[in-house]
């Protein structure tokens, strides 16, 4: 029998054990709550006791190339309410709704949301709305300062700049492309409440301003470009259009416009069509402006010259059962004339000479079928199918789609002496303190030789002077370019009846191109040719741009002036050149002999050059007959001649001459052998000394004295 004295001890031990277990359980629970559940419980406490309001940062400023502000953020007030402090929501809701243009019932629900500490009434109020709300003198309302994006020039450059949402997040254009750079770092305001949900403290975490963007765009040029585009589209009752203007040497975009447009300050009523950036998002079949690829490739590969005669088949050619026609039929044209008259037949024949594989290489080098990587979102690469699926119409710009920016870059390549330069919009990115963060450098690569580019430039000038683009002439400046008119594809391997895209792409001045510009008009009504619809817009926009840039007119005539230490002579009319000749009879005789020699036909016994080609001579003779019939003049080779000899040669052919420098001719434009009209001015560059050439090899059949005499004659 157990002892009675042990029973109380056992009970005491059991109680002690239970107490220990209970304490351990409490400790374990405390550890669980303090360690494992701490983040969740802390967040719940904050939600019950605090409310956070995000503070949008000040976005960086966007400037044009001259430092003018295009987009900036300014501080505005947003209205918030504390539902627990609203005494009569039924009375307040209608009054606020009327002032702020809000739905009364929806506002009433917010004011009665007693489970929420703070609710937003309306963000980013206008100054007038703030004044009207203040006049009500209501309790339970609070303002919070936020940032609002402002576009200072309204619709100007809207498609370039883009726009932001209410939270200052970029949604299109540069605002979207550089959103992380411009946006900055968000801040917040934290408000603390008591048990009755009354605020008694707040804490502000400041936002950090974003970086600034400096563009290549010129706001004034952009304004006039948009004006010219808008007026041209309204004249032609077109569906829309785009214009891109850039500097060929650097790739800097000076203007990029689309129409219809929108106001980025208020996009609520804008349609998708208005917000579409046609310059980069809309690909179109370029038509004849694409012929520059085939022509430049054929010139580069030495398959044609400007005077090569092409059989145009009276304006019709049939390939694989597909009949292709010219608007104006011709039997034969030189390459220069074919480009000026925009002959489809000639371009297709040139394309056949090249072959698809070789043509495809040049298309790729010119940047078609790939994005230019311009700093804008949603850029299209265009449509370029595999060579296996090509049709014979590729050389004339059908069966391929391009964007306006791609076409502008291609024409810049020609204006830039054969080097393709990546188009870009951003000049530099700077911090809020003005420190340069980055200066983007565009890609560049050679496509064609400078000689080919110069030859094609002269041919493209002929398009403006005597071809399909006479409406692209700019008063005071020489321009070069190409028209294009294409039917609109219906997306089902066919074309829409009566729907066209009219285009013109070109550059000016011809001698030292400062601007390349393309204009593309979608669905003009009535006249629909590029020369009638797009070329006048080009002339208007580029004329304004050249004047704004301070480019001196090329045709300003002065008999003699000194600029930068270099004397320039210009002869506007060379009908009678006798006053320009030397007073010494010997000098006059030398000039006369040179002029006579240049125009005299070769003697039958003259030795043929090493590269003599009878067929080529026959082609050139036939081409000469064609040009003479149209009143065109063959440009002589002036290189190596003195100014007076050059003057005499030009005078004998009725050409105008402008010479820069002193000495003898070391370069000329248009190049020798080009046919031009009498309105064209032949420009030459003079230098005091020329590169010393090796003396010609002595003819063993001639005695030393005869060889020396021949060498002396060439030196003269």
What is the set of active-site residues?
Answer: 288
Cα distances (angstroms) measured from residue 658 to each of 307, 372, 565, 571, 694:
24, 38, 17, 6, 30
Torsion of CA 542, 544, 548, 551, to 10 degrees: 50
The two tokens of residue 315 are: 């304006």
Measured between alpha carbons, how far is 295 from 350 in angstroms, rounded to an integer? 7
CA distance 62 to 73: 10
Tokens coding 81: 């309410």
Closest CA to 473 of 521, 503, 508, 512: 508
Q: Is 80 helix (H, G, I), strand (E, B) or coil?
A: strand
| Strand 62-63 versus strand 212-215 pairing type | parallel
DSSP string across 76-115: EEEEEE-GGG-S-HHHHHHHHHHHHT--HHHHHHHHT-TT
Quickly count: other Cβ atoms within 10 Å of residue 488's Cβ. Answer: 17
Indicate the burial class of 344 (C-beta count within 10 angstroms; 0-12, 13-18, 19 or more).
Answer: buried
- Distance, CA of 345 to CA of 504 (rounded, Å): 20
Distance (Å, rounded) from C-alpha 691 to C-alpha 457? 26
Cβ–Cβ < 8 Å for 548, 642: no
Distance of CA 65 to CAs 135, 263, 382, 653, Å? 44, 22, 29, 46
Show the tokens assigned to 328: 């104006």
CA distances from 69 to 58, 150, 215, 423, 630 (A): 15, 10, 10, 22, 53
**Burial tier of 699 (Cβ tally within 10 Å: 0-12, 13-18, 19+):** exposed
| Cα-based distances in Å from 30 to 25, 27, 37, 44, 455 | 9, 5, 10, 17, 88
56: tokens are 């949008």
- The DSSP element (H or E) to which 507 belongs, if any, is strand 495-508
Q: How far apart are CA 328 and CA 325, in angstroms?
A: 9
| Other CB atoms within 10 Å distance of the CB of residue 411 | 26
Residues in the chain: 716
CA-based nearest residue to 279, from 226, 315, 318, 210: 226
* Neighbour count for residue 113 (Cβ, 10 Å): 16
Residue 567 neighbours by CB under 8 Å, 6+ apart = 560, 561, 661, 662
Residue 172 is classified by DSSP as S
From 206, 339, 335, 324, select the one nearest 619 (Cα to Cα).
335
> Is the Cβ–Cβ distance between 76 and 147 less than 8 Å?
yes
Tokens of 232: 């041209």
Alpha-carbon distance of 243 to 505, in angstroms, equals 10
Phi, psi of 472 (to 5 degrees): -90, 0
- Residue carrying structure tokens 């024409």: 411
């Amino acid at each position: 029998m157990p002892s009675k004295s042990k029973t109380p001890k056992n009970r005491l031990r059991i109680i002690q054990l239970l107490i220990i277990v209970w304490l351990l359980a409490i400790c374990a629970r405390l550890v669980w709550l303090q360690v494992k559940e701490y983040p969740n419980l802390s967040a719940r406490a904050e939600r019950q006791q605090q409310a956070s309001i995000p503070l949008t940062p000040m976005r960086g400023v966007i400037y044009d190339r001259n430092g003018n502000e295009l987009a900036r953020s300014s501080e505005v007030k947003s209205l918030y309410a504390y539902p627990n402090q609203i005494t009569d929501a039924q009375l307040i809701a209608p009054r606020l709704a009327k002032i702020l243009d809000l739905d009364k019932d929806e506002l009433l629900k917010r004011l009665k949301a007693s489970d929420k500490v703070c609710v937003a009434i309306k963000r980013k109020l206008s100054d007038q709305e703030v004044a009207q709300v203040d006049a009500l003198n209501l309790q339970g309302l609070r303002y919070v300062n936020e940032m609002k994006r402002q576009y200072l020039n309204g619709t100007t450059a809207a498609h370039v700049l883009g726009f932001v949402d209410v939270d200052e997040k970029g949604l299109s254009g540069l605002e979207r492309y550089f959103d992380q750079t411009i946006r900055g770092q968000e801040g917040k305001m934290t408000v603390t409440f008591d048990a009755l949900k009354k605020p008694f403290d707040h804490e502000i975490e400041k936002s950090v301003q974003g970086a600034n963007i400096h563009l290549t765009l010129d706001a004034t040029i952009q304004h006039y470009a948009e004006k010219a585009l808008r007026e041209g589209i309204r004249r032609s009752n077109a569906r829309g259009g785009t214009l891109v203007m850039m500097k060929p040497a650097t790739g800097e975009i000076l203007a990029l416009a689309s129409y219809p447009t929108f106001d980025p300050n208020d996009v609520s009523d804008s349609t998708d069509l208005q917000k579409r950036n046609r310059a980069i998002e809309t690909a179109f079949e370029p038509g004849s402006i694409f012929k520059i690829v085939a022509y430049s490739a054929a010139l580069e590969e030495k398959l044609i010259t400007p005077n090569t005669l092409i059989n145009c088949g009276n304006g019709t050619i049939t390939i694989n059962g597909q009949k292709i026609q010219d608007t104006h039929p011709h039997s034969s044209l030189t390459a220069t004339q074919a480009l000026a008259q925009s002959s489809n037949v000639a371009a297709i024949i040139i394309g056949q000479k090249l072959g698809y594989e070789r043509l495809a290489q040049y298309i790729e080098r010119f940047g078609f079928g790939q994005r230019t990587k311009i700093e804008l979102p949603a850029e299209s690469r265009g449509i370029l199918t595999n060579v296996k699926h090509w049709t014979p119409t590729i050389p004339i710009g059908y069966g391929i789609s391009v964007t306006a920016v791609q076409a502008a870059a291609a024409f810049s390549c020609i204006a830039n002496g054969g080097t393709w330069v990546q188009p870009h919009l951003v000049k530099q990115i700077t911090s809020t303190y003005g420190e340069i963060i980055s200066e983007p450098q565009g890609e560049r690569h050679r496509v064609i030789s400078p000689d080919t580019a110069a030859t094609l430039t002269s041919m493209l000038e002929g398009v403006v002077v005597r071809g399909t683009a006479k409406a692209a002439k700019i008063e005071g400046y020489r321009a070069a370019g190409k028209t294009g008119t294409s039917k609109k594809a219906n997306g089902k391997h066919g074309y829409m009846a009566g729907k066209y895209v009219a285009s013109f792409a070109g550059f000016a001045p011809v001698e030292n191109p400062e601007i390349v510009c393309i204009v593309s008009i979608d669905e003009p009504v009535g006249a629909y040719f590029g020369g009638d619809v797009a070329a006048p817009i080009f002339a208007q926009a580029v004329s304004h741009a050249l004047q704004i840039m301070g480019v001196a007119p090329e045709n300003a005539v002065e008999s003699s002036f000194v600029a930068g230490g270099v004397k320039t002579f210009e002869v506007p009319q060379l009908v009678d050149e006798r006053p320009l000749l030397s007073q010494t009879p010997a000098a006059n005789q030398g000039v006369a002999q040179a002029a006579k020699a240049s125009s005299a036909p070769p003697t039958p016994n003259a030795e043929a050059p090493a590269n003599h080609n009878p067929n080529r001579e026959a082609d050139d003779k036939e081409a000469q007959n064609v040009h003479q019939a149209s009143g065109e003049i063959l440009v002589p080779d002036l290189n190596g001649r003195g100014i007076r000899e050059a003057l005499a040669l030009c005078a004998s052919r009725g050409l105008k001459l402008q010479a820069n420098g002193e000495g003898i001719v070391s370069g000329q434009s248009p190049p020798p052998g080009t046919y031009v009209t009498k309105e064209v001015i032949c420009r030459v560059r003079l230098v005091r000394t020329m590169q010393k050439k090796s003396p010609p090899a002595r003819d063993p059949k001639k005695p030393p004295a005869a060889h020396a005499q021949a060498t002396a004659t060439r030196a003269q």
